[in-house]
Structures are given as C-alpha cells and as structure tokens.
Amino acid sequence: MDSRRSPTARLLAGLAITLTAVAVYSGYTILQLHALEELQARTIDRNRTDSLLLLRIQNSLNSLALAMRDMLDGSEPYPLTAWKGQFQRIRTDLDDALLQEERTSPLDSPSGQRRYLSDSVAQFWDAADRLFALAAAGREKDARELIHLSLQARQESLSTAVARLLVQNNETEQAAAEHTHGIYARAERNVYLFVAAMLVLISLTSLYLVQFTRRMFHQVAAISERRSELAQQLISMQENTFRSIARELHDDFGQILTAIGVMLQRTGRRDPELREVQEIVQSTLEKVRSLSHALHPAALEELGLESALDQYLPDFERQTGIAIRYEKTGTSREVDRSVGIHLYRVLQEALNNIARHSKSPRASVRLRFLPNTVVLEVEDEGVGFGNREKPGMGLVSMRERAEMLNGRVEFLDRDGGGALVRLTVPAAAEEAHA
C-alpha cells in the first residue's frame, strides 16, 4: 500500500459506522430509560409515597386506640371530655393524611377500598362526636359503653383496611421491581452486545491506525533526523560566519581604527578638535572589539569556557546595567571547544532574553561541574516566561544546541517571580565531542 495515501476516507467510513451504531443503540436505550422513568414515576415513587402516608394514618389510628384504652381504664381522675383536645389533634392530622393519600394513591389502585376507608373514618368521627356529647351531658357510663361497643370496633376495622392497602402497595411495588429488573436485564444485554461490537470495530480501526502510524513514525523519524542534521549544519555555518566576521572586525577594522587612533594621537596634541575625533575613534574601536568578542570570543578557543565567561560577564554587566552574580562549583575540568561554544551561546541568549524581556535588575549565573554532568543555570528576578510575549527563535536555538550536546534545556518559572534556564550536558556528550 502506498504510504502517502491518506487514511481519511477509511477513518470517515469507520466513524460513520460507529456513529450510526451509537445512534441506534442510544435511541433504543433512551426508549428503555423513558419506560423505566415512567414506571418509576407512575408506580414506584407514587406507591412509596402512598405507603408512607398509610403508615402515618395507621400511626394516628394507633394513637386513637391508646387514647380509648386510657378512657376505658378508669384509673385516670379526669372526665372523658379531657380527651377531646387530643382527639381533635389526631383528627386534624388524620384528615390531612387521608387527603394527601387520596391525591398520591397509585393510579391503578382499587377505588372501592379507599371509598370504604373514607366512609369508615367519617362514621368513626360521628361516633366520637356522640361520645363527647354524652360525656358533656354527664352520661359517662353511656359514653364508655359507646367506646367499647362502637369506637374500638371501628378503629380496628380502619386499621385492618389500612393494613390491607399497605399489603397491596407492597405487592404492587414487588411487581414494579420485577418489571424494572426486566428492563435492566435487557439494557445490560444490549450494553454487552454494543460493547462487543464497538470492541471489534475499535480493534479493526486501531490495527489500521497502528500500521499507518508506524509508517508515519518512520517518515517523521527520518525527517527529524534530517532536520537535526540541518540544524547542526546551520549552527555550524553560523559559528563559522561569526568567527569570520569577528576575525575581520578584529584584524582589519581593528587595525585600521588603531592606526587612525595613533595618527590622531600624534597630531591631536596641537589641535583640540582632533583630540575629540581621536576619542570617537577610540570609542568606535572599543565597540568593534566588543562586537567581535560577542560574535566569537577568542578567549573561548585560547583559554577555555571558564575564562571566556570571566571576560564576558563583566562586559555584559557594564553594557546593560544588570548586576550579575556568578557562582562556580565542583572540580573544574577542561571542556571541549565544540561543547564550550554551545554552552557559551546558551548563556549569551539567556542573558540577552533577561536584558530584553525580564525587566530584572539582577541575574545569577551558576556553572556546576558534577561527576556525570555539567550544569549551566541562568536565573533572573523578572516577569517569568509565562508573562512574556510569544517565545522567539532564541529559545528554539537553545533547544537545538542542547540536543546537539545530547543534553536537555529547561525553561522554568520561579515561585517568587522570575525565570530559570537550566542546561544540563551529560558527561557522555562531552566525550562524544572530544
């Protein structure tokens, strides 16, 4: 198969099949959920609410039974009319519970039993009213007889009717639970079928993507290798160009300016204006030398990395006004020139970023010689990387140089503000360039 062929058509076809399967399964599942929701709303939830109200009614009836038992006991020194307030409170609660139960009773429940319950409650309260009327008339004996023969029997009848309704609610809830279990079983079976189909489809798609990605990975690896080679060539050409320009500036322009300065020095003793020109030439000569040193420090080739840093940092501090704190730890060792130039360039770029972007009045440079690595750190107290503008080519160049050294470069924001650039070069990288 041609590796340049795009997998878009096949992936779109697989996506269409997947979306169709998902849509069909989702539609069926939604229907099942709607049925379950309707069952729960119409039967289960309504039935449970009704059962709670029936328990409330049963509790009120039990309270009436206890009150009537106390009224018949005769041990209390109170007249029967003393229980009228308690009966009234129970009646208010019972009427409210019956009204709510009538509204929330299951839609398919038999209406005859609830009509019987409502009529029985009304008859009970009629008898209770006669009871308290007899008690108020002083006929305590007749009132107790009415409790014994009528009210207690009616209360027991009401309790039996409420218990029967609770049993029916329980049976209805069990039937709804079985129905719900059936819906869940069908949904579970459909989930297994759907998952199996998706696994097959995903497996086929994944196998195709793995093969395509493997080919793409090989192509990207080849491109990355060529890019790395090109970056190394560009950086090498850049260094050669810098070295050539620095040499021209130092040798040709430097010598010319030096010669002009000498001639002006001879004649400037008699002419004040020529002395001013001599000062301008001397300032230009210093700038040319500084530019030559920035492009390619001769001390790096002649004396090594540490000496080059010792010369560069004071010059940078004098030109920018940024206070530099330089620390060197560990046992010094000679760094190969090809490695040292990259360390030097990363330091230059990091300090230039501080001068251009960080707004920091101070910076710290740390060079650490560890047993297996050389670590260069440049830290400032400015705005940090997160608050700077879009990163430029400087950060990219530092990454490329780190890769060429088989090392890594880190760009970190400090907790208290500021940024830290850390370049770590493994010992193997130094040996590779030796």
- Position 432 scores a pLDDT of 41
- Position 434 scores a pLDDT of 39
Which of 179-193, 286-300, 379-393 has the lowest average pLDDT?
286-300
Residue % of the chain over a pLDDT of 70: 72
Q: Which domains does the chain have, with CATH numbers?
A: 8-210 (1.20.120.1730), 297-433 (3.30.565.10)
- 390 with 432: CB under 8 angstroms? no
Whether pTM exceeds 0.85: no
- Model confidence at 390, pLDDT cuts 50, 70, 90, reads low
Does pLDDT of 262 surpass 80? no
How does pLDDT run across 20-74, given as a tens digit for each residue? Answer: 877 777 777 777 767 666 666 566 777 788 888 888 888 988 988 888 888 887 6
Q: Is 410 left (phi over 0), alpha (psi -120 to 50) or beta?
A: beta
* Amino acid letter for position 134: L
Highest-confidence range of 7-16, 344-353, 389-398, by mean pLDDT? 344-353
How does pLDDT run across 210-247, given as a tens digit for each residue? Answer: 787 788 878 877 776 676 666 666 666 666 676 666 56
Q: 314 or 333, which is more confident?
A: 314
Does pLDDT of 330 surpass 80? yes
Q: 382 or 294, which is more confident?
A: 382
- Position 365 scores a pLDDT of 92
Residue % of the chain over a pLDDT of 90: 4
- Position 430 scores a pLDDT of 46
Q: Which residues of 84-123 are buried (b: 16+ CB within 10 A; e: fewer)?
A: eeebeebbeebeebbebbeeebbeebeeeebeebeebbee
**What counts of helices (H) and strands (E) characterise the chain?**
13, 5
How does pLDDT run across 276-326, given as a tens digit for each residue? Answer: 666 676 667 666 666 655 666 666 667 778 888 888 888 888 888 889 999
Strands 419-426 and 362-369: unpaired
